[in-house]
Amino acid sequence: MIIAIDGPAGSGKSTVAKIVAKKLNFRYIDTGSMYRSIAWKSLQKNTALEDKEAVANIAFKTKIELVSSESGQLVFIDDENITDQLKMEIISRGAAIVAAQPIIREIMTTKQRQLGKQGKVVMDGRDIGTVVFPQADKKFFLDADPKERGRRRFIELKEKKQASDTDLSIIIEQVIQRDNEDRNRKIAPLKQAKDAILIDTTKLSIDQVVKKIITIINPGQKKI
Ligand code: C5P
């Protein structure tokens, strides 16, 4: 069984997907971390992210391992745990740049399909329900007001000491800009699959969104 959860930055999809996977005893796969990994490695090597050939070369050679842990998904690149570095804004920006390159998407989509083959997976991203697993058993598209999404991202970065109080409006702008890029790119743009269930999370708590999703997946089951 594959559950696809797509949506823009700050829609709550990663947090929700992680909890849903835990409750169902499924594996959680955060596909954004794969694009982030390529951006991270490229920046480490001082490679311009727009240099498609060089970035593709890096993507072919880099070993990306996603490891499930109690705290969520850990990301190892060439055996180094880089999980904590991936949420930095420079990496978010970089991920959106490399994610628009067809060859990178091809490599990542193949990896994601391999991971999905094992079954019992909750996968979150931008194109899981549309491109990676159009036959997913259940598809959800989470969305929220852009200001609220920016606010959530701000809180997340502040907790990690990667933002200060004055950065809120800048972060809202960055979130809106990244969404525009993700929605308007030519290949695998961010969009709701026709058969995905839309959940507007603007006024909902994480718990409420999780409950909605679990109820849809397991309509007969009252509590998990
Ligand atoms: O989900 P997250 O914010 O970590 O994703 C980072 C970036 O990776 C997104 O802004 C998007 O450009 C890209 N991405 C993608 N397709 C996915 C997951 C992420 O294009 N399935």
| Pocket (CB within 6 angstroms of ligand 1) | 9, 31-32, 35-36, 92, 95-96, 99, 125-128, 178, 182
Q: What's the chain's average pLDDT?
A: 95
Query: Ligand 1 mean position to 161 CA, how many Å?
Result: 22
Residue 223 lies in a domain: no
How would residue 221 be classed by pLDDT, with cut points 50, 70 and 90?
low
Nearest CA to ligand 1 atom 20: 99
- CATH number of 180's domain: 3.40.50.300
Q: Within 10 A of 64 (CB to CB), how many other CB atoms are there?
A: 19
Please tell me the residue having the least CA distance from ligand 1 atom 9: 96
Structurally, how many domains does the chain consist of?
1
Domain membership of residue 32 as a residue range: 2-212
Backbone angles phi, psi at 61, to 5 degrees: -90, -15
Q: Which atom of ligand 1 is nearest to the CA of 35?
A: 8
Question: Mind listing the pLDDT tens digit for each residue in 163-190?
Answer: 888 899 999 999 999 999 999 999 999 9
Instruction: Give the bridge partners for 133, in sequence order.
Output: none
pLDDT digit string, tens, across residues 108-131? 999 999 999 989 999 999 999 999
**What is the amino acid identity at position 217?**
I
Q: Which residue has the higher pLDDT, 175 or 162?
A: 175
- The answer as to whether 97 is a domain residue is yes
On whether residue 48 sits in a domain, the answer given is yes
Residue 217 lies in a domain: no
CA-nearest residue for atom 11, ligand 1, is: 96
Residue 207 Cα, ligand 1 centroid: separation in angstroms? 23
The answer to whether residue 207 scores a pLDDT higher than 60 is yes
With a cut of 90, say whether residue 224 has pLDDT above it.
no
Percentage of the chain exceeding pLDDT 90: 88
The CA distance from 156 to 168, in Å, is 11
Is the residue at 146 inside a domain? yes
**Cβ-count burial of 203 within 10 angstroms (0-12 exposed, 13-18 middle, 19+ buried)?**
exposed
Which pLDDT score is estimated for 2?
A: 97
Pairing of strands 2-6, 27-30: unpaired
Query: Cα(212) to centroid of ligand 1, in Å?
Result: 24
Q: Which of 23-27, 70-74, 156-160 has the highest mean pLDDT?
A: 23-27
- Residue 222 located in a structural domain: no
Q: What percent of the chain has pLDDT over 70?
A: 98
Question: Does residue 47 lie in a domain region?
Answer: yes
Residue 21 lies in a domain: yes
